[in-house]
Amino acid sequence: MTPEPNRSPLRRALILAALMIAGESVFLLPFVLARVFRPTFLDVFGITNLELGTAFSAYGVVAMVAYFAGGPLADRYSARRLMTVALASTAAAGALLAGVPSPATMNVLWAWWGMTSILLFWAALLRATREWGGDDAQGRAYGLLDGGRGLLAAVIASLSVVVFSIVLPGDAETATLAERAQAFRAVIWVFTGMTALAGVLVWLVVPDNDPAAAREGHRKRSVGGMAAAARMPTVWLHAVIVVCAYSGYKASDDFSLLARDVLGYDDVQASSIGTLSFWVRAASAVGAGYLADRIDPTRVILLGFGLLTGGSLLIASGWLPPSVPWMMIMTIVATSVGIYALRGVYFALLAEGGVPLAFTGSAIGLVSFVGFTPDVFMGPLMGVLLDGSPGALGHRHVFLAVAGFGLVGAAATVAFRRLAPEPAATHPTRSDSTGSRREARRAGR
């Protein structure tokens, strides 16, 4: 593996910080903007929820193909160059969004972002993170990446509201549509500028590693990275693990509605419950990453699925009395810890599964293509369950389904653990201490 750990601590910290900033900045315009300012977005652009959803669908369709195709690009071209181009291209479309385009143009913009943020960026980001982690810090690398992205997203969301309120003249309730549009365009320009600056940061800080150097030692093993990844059973099990974990993440969108329907909270209180889950992300992902490096990532994955499944079953049981809200809130927090622990380390399985560094991008593309399909089916599934059984019963059905995904994910993790090669087979240069860890792992199988 590339000798990233040999860099100075300061240099390594700067590289990881650049990856964190870039990893969240590329999604500011496609997702964070509408998530934080959805009512203002709809009013200023004069569109319906369906029209905004259609734009998101355009992103999703392009992204599904881009996940699959982006992997080989990450194995062929430098992550630094791919991410810089992706961030610059994403920011360029932000300038068009500030002009408040028509719904048809919005569809084109979101489709464009599906290409820039996924085809050019996603696999390159994860490959650069794997290179940063080296042989012995894969869990820490991915945990810090997702935790840092989560903390950055929370801070940016809060600061963007401040910017909006400063630019908006007078009170928000009495402001005219034109005044709100002016303030909202200022937020769009701030997000666009941050995305562009992230591209500059990546170019200046992230090393320009040549993937061809990693491919050289594996030419005889495969005629193509994607074909090589597809022949590995651990890659397909990895994809199943991500499907189940990501389904739990998508279900976290229901927490605020659950608080309103079951606990009787008003909209502001319910939103605070959704925000609580959002802030859990940073601590859970970072903690899971460090834990994964002390034990095996698969053990942390099993712990995450245990929390996800247990919390979901408790919500689905209906045993939590609405008259004691702290019990439901603590269950939501515990379930969120499981969700974000899984998100923090599930890509650390690349190394444990024996995927050669040369095929990292291809394996990421294949795993992501399958693993992020909940973007397609979880929304409709939750809608059917919630609308078919209004009130508390619908939420119980949603989390019963999530518990099912958790059980399947845990089973896939056990199978992955049994099929994964011993660390020495993948990293023959590791120290004797790693060999001792390998013996402990074999004993725990």
What does the pLDDT profile of the chain (445 residues) look like in tens digits? 444 445 678 888 899 999 999 999 999 998 878 766 766 788 889 987 677 777 877 888 888 888 878 877 887 888 899 999 999 999 999 999 999 999 999 999 999 999 999 999 988 998 888 888 776 677 778 778 888 888 887 788 778 877 887 887 766 667 778 888 888 899 899 999 999 999 999 999 998 876 655 555 444 443 456 677 788 889 999 999 999 998 998 888 778 778 878 888 765 466 567 667 767 877 888 888 888 888 888 999 999 999 999 999 999 998 988 888 889 999 999 999 999 999 888 888 888 888 887 777 778 878 888 888 887 787 778 778 888 888 889 889 999 999 999 999 999 999 999 998 865 444 443 334 334 444 444 333 3
Paired tokens of 168:
């908006």
How far is the C-alpha of 356 from the C-alpha of 264, rounded, in Å? 51
Q: What is the pLDDT of residue 1?
A: 47
CA distances from 383 to 78, 387, 403 (A): 41, 6, 17
- The per-residue pLDDT for range 300-341, each reduced to its tens digit, is 999 999 999 999 999 999 898 888 888 999 999 999 999 999
How far apart (Å, rounded) are the C-alpha atoms in residues 205 and 391? 50
Q: Of 42, 30, 152, 40, whose CA–CA distance to 91 is shortest?
A: 30
**Rg value, the chain, Cα:** 22
What is the per-residue pLDDT for 443?
Answer: 37
Could you tell me if 362 and 71 are in contact, meaning their C-beta atoms sit under 8 angstroms apart? yes
Cα 399–chain centre separation: 21
Is residue 305 within 8 Å of 413, Cβ to Cβ? yes
Tokens of 349: 């399985």
Residue 271 has a pLDDT of 56
**Amino acid 433: pLDDT:** 38
Provide the total of helices (H) and of strands (E) in the chain, helices listed first.
22, 0
Tokens of 373: 């399909």
Report how far residue 324's alpha carbon sits from residue 426's, in angstroms, rounded to the nearest whole number: 51
Q: Exposed e or buried b for every residue in 113-122, given b needs 16+ CB within 10 A?
A: bbbbbbbbbb
Domains along the chain with CATH numbers:
1-216 (1.20.1250.20), 224-445 (1.20.1250.20)
How far is Cα 191 from Cα 213, in angstroms, rounded to an integer? 36
Q: Six-digit token pair at 100?
A: 């408040």
Whole-structure pTM value: 0.70
The predicted pLDDT at position 213 comes to 56
